[in-house]
Amino acid sequence: MTTAIEVSDLTKQYRGAPVLRGVDLRAEQGEVLALLGSNGAGKTTTISILTTLLRADGGTATVAGCDVHRDPEGVRRRISLTGQSAAVDDALTGVENVVMLCRLSGLSPRAARHRAGELLERFALTDAGSRRVKTYSGGMRRRLDLALSFVVRPEVLFLDEPTTGVDPRSRLDLWEVIRSLADAGTTVFLTTQYLEEADRLANRIAVLHEGRIIRTGTAGELKAQFGSDTLVAEDAAGTVIAEIPTDGSIAGLRRALDELDDADPSRRPASVQLRRPTLDDVFLTLTATDADRPAVKEFA
């Protein structure tokens, strides 16, 4: 498998304050890699360095085979970046936005119109193409922003919190588009604060905390390491009266149920459910405090 992004010991300081303290990352071609972290953890700084908008203080990084420091032009020819705010012109129509960028990218007028039609159809904006962008919803603006990123097909697509401020329906639509792009071979580097987004989209997840990657793995691997199935018992009013950890096996569930049966009859539950570990559990465990943080362990 071809490596699309390779980062080693990346560091960055602002006014003497360290933001990145030795970041190591890798993403393969066609993979969705999600970078999770709290506000201020360094997610946007990492993307800015990898997209050549910012220079690192130390370490190395290659994107699509090009060194971000030695060959920034080579990187720019092979990537697209969609930032936290949609970079579209409100005064133009959807078609005009795409055609303009096509022309700036060197396409002829005819080829630009053809490419605009293809992209608006792909991102479900054909019917809105003749409307001014200022009339678009937040989800439509984000889809148009993604369409602009594919005027020239990138090898690597960087998405910095792409669904922030987008309604739930539009978020689901964008997830489908992003997944389809990766399935077609584009590597997607995604930063997000929505843990469900990472769970649904990412092949692998990296957790950035205090300037370092403290865990990397699939969603399933991380959940298995930092969470356990829990039998949750509720009374008739829906109040939780017991939470019993279990390994999720039939034998484990029987032991948990036996424990509930042995309880005070007045405290016996009206209902029980099995709660699976979530990325929320993983993230909160990892980023709680230095004292609570488990030792770093990478997944292959």
Contact (CB, 8 A) for 25 and 215: no
The tens digit of pLDDT for each residue in 43-55 reads 999 999 999 999 9
Find out whether 268 and 262 touch, Cβ atoms under 8 Å.
no
Top pLDDT among 9 and 252 is at 9
Mean pLDDT taken over the chain: 86
Provide the pLDDT for residue 292: 47
pLDDT at 4: 96
Q: How far apart are CA 7 and CA 13, in angstroms?
A: 17
**How many Å apart are CA 221 and CA 181, to the nearest integer?**
24
Q: Which neighbouring-strand residues pair with 159?
A: 82, 190
**Structure token pair of residue 55:** 């220079």
At 64-90, the pLDDT tens digits run 999 999 999 999 999 998 876 667 899
pTM of the model: 0.78
- Segment 92-150, tens digit of pLDDT: 999 999 999 999 988 999 999 999 999 999 888 999 999 999 999 888 888 898 888 88
Task: Give the type of residue at 41.
Answer: A
Phi and psi (nearest 5°) for 141?
-65, -40
pLDDT tens sequence across 197-255: 999 999 999 999 999 999 999 998 888 887 677 888 888 787 888 878 777 678 877 88
Residue 96, classified by CB atoms within 10 Å of its CB into exposed (0-12), middle (13-18) or buried (19+), is middle
- For residue 284, how many C-alpha atoms fall within 13 Å in the half-sphere facing its CB? 6
CA distance 195 to 116: 33
| SS3 track for 52-75 | CCCCCCEEEEEECCEECCCCHHHH
DSSP state of 249: S
Residue 298 in this model has a pLDDT that exceeds 60 = no
Residues 6 or more apart whose Cβ sits within 8 Å of residue 227: 276, 277, 278, 281, 282, 285
Query: Over 50: is that where the pLDDT of 294 sits?
Result: no
How long a stretch of residues is the chain?
Answer: 300
